[in-house]
């Protein structure tokens, strides 16, 4: 089922060319991740292979997640549509466009929708004076807990 989408134009400061952060490291500059605006998408790798991830800024803090809805994780459904649009129109929650699940942007927990109580796969990301960085997979080789 395809949901109707409002037109969504990328702001000038965001480039959605293919970013690759397959190994831990730099994701983007801090100025690219604006409060409750577009998420920055990039690819990561762990022992299970390559996957898409994203960072968003919410209440001043950058949060990172795997771009895969926990409602039907085996189908690898991205939350965003169009690319980079993760927040609802009021900037309160991250939303999966497929079946409208709402996620707390700070914790990743689903607070409304078909997967209520499940959570997005959280990434270890940090922000410092040089930008936003993904810290990599854990000791078991996972980019996120499963
Ligand atoms: S696939 Fe995300 S809510 Fe159903």
pTM of full prediction above 0.85: no
Looking at the structure of the chain, the number of domains it has is 1
The answer to whether residue 7 is domain-embedded is no
Provide the token pair at 50: 């390559």
Q: Which atom of ligand 1 is nearest to the CA of 100?
A: 3
pLDDT digits (tens, 9 = 90+) for 127-144: 999 999 998 876 666 665
Structural domain boundaries enclosing 81: 25-134
The answer to whether residue 96 is domain-embedded is yes
pLDDT digits (tens, 9 = 90+) for 57-100: 999 999 999 999 999 988 989 999 999 999 999 999 999 999 99
Q: Which residues lie below 8 Å from residue 1, measured CB to CB, with a gap of 6+?
A: 98
- Contact call for residues 80 and 97 (beta carbons, < 8 A): yes
Pocket test for ligand 1, best of 88, 115, 116, 119 (most atoms within 8 A of CB): 115
The answer to whether residue 140 is domain-embedded is no
The answer to whether residue 43 is domain-embedded is yes
Q: What is the CATH number of the domain that holds 66?
A: 2.102.10.10
């Amino acid at each position: 089922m395809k949901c109707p989408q409002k037109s969504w134009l990328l702001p000038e400061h965001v480039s959605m060319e293919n970013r690759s952060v397959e190994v831990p490291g730099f994701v983007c500059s801090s100025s690219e991740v604006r409060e409750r605006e577009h998420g920055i998408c990039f690819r990561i790798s762990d022992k299970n292979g390559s996957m898409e991830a994203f960072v968003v800024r919410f209440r001043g803090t950058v949060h990172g997640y795997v771009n895969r809805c926990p409602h039907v994780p085996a189908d690898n459904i991205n939350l965003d549509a169009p690319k980079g649009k993760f927040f609802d129109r009021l900037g309160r929650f991250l939303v999966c466009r497929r079946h409208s699940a709402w996620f707390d942007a700070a914790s990743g927990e689903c607070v409304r929708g078909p997967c209520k109580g499940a959570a997005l796969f959280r990434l270890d990301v940090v922000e410092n004076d040089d930008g936003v960085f993904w810290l990599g997979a854990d000791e078991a080789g996972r980019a996120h807990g499963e």
